[in-house]
């Protein structure tokens, strides 16, 4: 099943000390050998469809966490939801690219302050390679910080940071900037790591296969509207709930990690 392809292993970049006597599960209040998973929806803020489906999947389905793209047009809608629902596990999907064919956005920082992040039309570049070729670490750090500050301005208290298209992780200097901002605000950050850890991280994309989402993702079948509808359908289903229960899997949140470990 494609849902399992997106499983990544996670570490918390110096926010968690692996040499502790207690396991991560114990520090979060679970049994020592508990199987833990975060079921995480990306790309909130990109469209109303993405927001609505992700909220439904969190409130009625198995999705425990999600992250928001601050530069995107539908950010104010999901930021208002976050402010009205402080218990919701909502982080920031740090956004340094704008990959869709016609649907574009740019930095929250004034463009003249981060010229290396924008193309000739004033939008973020479509590809990670273009960001690596044109931007510098100071610009990346400034934009990441300003996305966090923008979220806080809208009343959010982000539970974590992760990287849209992996751009903030794509170069060593970018990576350092990403970690620096996370530490500055005491927000845990997501980093894929190929080692065996007791916590699994499942990344999905939940949206409705409607006219809005089809327009956003036109000519892009991978990660498109139909793909996102399938993610929503499965992770909102009774089958998913049963699988988790039958396998004694605890679905947890970034908020638990932030509040019980990073900010303790």
Per the listing, tokens 């040499």 go with 19
Q: Which residues of the chain have pLDDT under 50?
A: 1-19, 195
Contacts of 223 (CB under 8 A, 6+ apart): 205, 217
Residue 198: what pLDDT? 58
Cα 137 → chain centroid:
21
Predicted pLDDT of residue 11: 37
The domains of the chain are located at 2-15+36-56+63-262
Which superfamily does CATH assign the domain made up of 2-15+36-56+63-262 to? Answer: Glycoside hydrolase/deacetylase (3.20.20.370)
Q: Torsion angle of alpha carbons 112, 117, 122, 125, nearest 10°? A: 180
Contact (CB, 8 A) for 193 and 10 = yes
User: Cβ of 113: how many Cβ atoms within 10 Å?
Assistant: 13
H-only helix segments in the chain: 2-5, 24-27, 48-60, 75-84, 128-134, 137-153, 172-184, 211-216, 225-235, 238-246, 254-257
pTM score of the predicted model: 0.90
């Amino acid at each position: 099943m494609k849902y399992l392809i997106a499983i990544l292993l996670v570490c918390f970049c110096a926010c968690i000390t692996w040499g502790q006597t207690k396991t991560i599960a114990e520090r979060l209040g679970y049994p020592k050998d508990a199987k833990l998973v975060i079921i995480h929806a990306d790309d909130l803020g990109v469209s109303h469809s993405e927001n609505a489906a992700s909220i439904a999947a969190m409130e009625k389905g198995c999705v425990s966490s999600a992250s928001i793209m601050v530069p995107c047009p539908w950010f104010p809608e999901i930021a208002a939801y976050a402010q009205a629902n402080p218990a919701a596990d909502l982080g920031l999907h740090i956004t340094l690219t704008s990959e869709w064919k016609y649907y574009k956005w740019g930095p929250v920082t004034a463009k003249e302050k981060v010229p290396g992040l924008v193309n000739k039309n004033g939008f973020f570049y479509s590809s990670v390679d273009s960001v690596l070729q044109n931007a510098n670490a100071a610009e990346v750090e400034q934009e990441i910080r300003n996305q966090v500050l923008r979220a806080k301005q809208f009343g959010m208290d982000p539970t974590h940071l992760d990287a849209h298209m992996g751009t903030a992780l794509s170069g060593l200097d970018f990576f350092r900037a990403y970690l620096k901002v996370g530490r500055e605000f005491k927000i845990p950050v997501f980093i894929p790591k190929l080692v065996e850890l007791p916590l699994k991280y499942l990344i999905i994309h939940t949206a409705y296969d409607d006219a809005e989402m089809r327009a956003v993702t036109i000519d892009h079948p991978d990660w498109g509207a139909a793909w996102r509808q399938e993610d929503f359908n499965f992770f909102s289903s009774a089958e998913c709930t049963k699988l988790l229960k039958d396998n004694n899997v605890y679905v947890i949140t970034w908020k638990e990690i932030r509040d019980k470990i990073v900010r303790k």
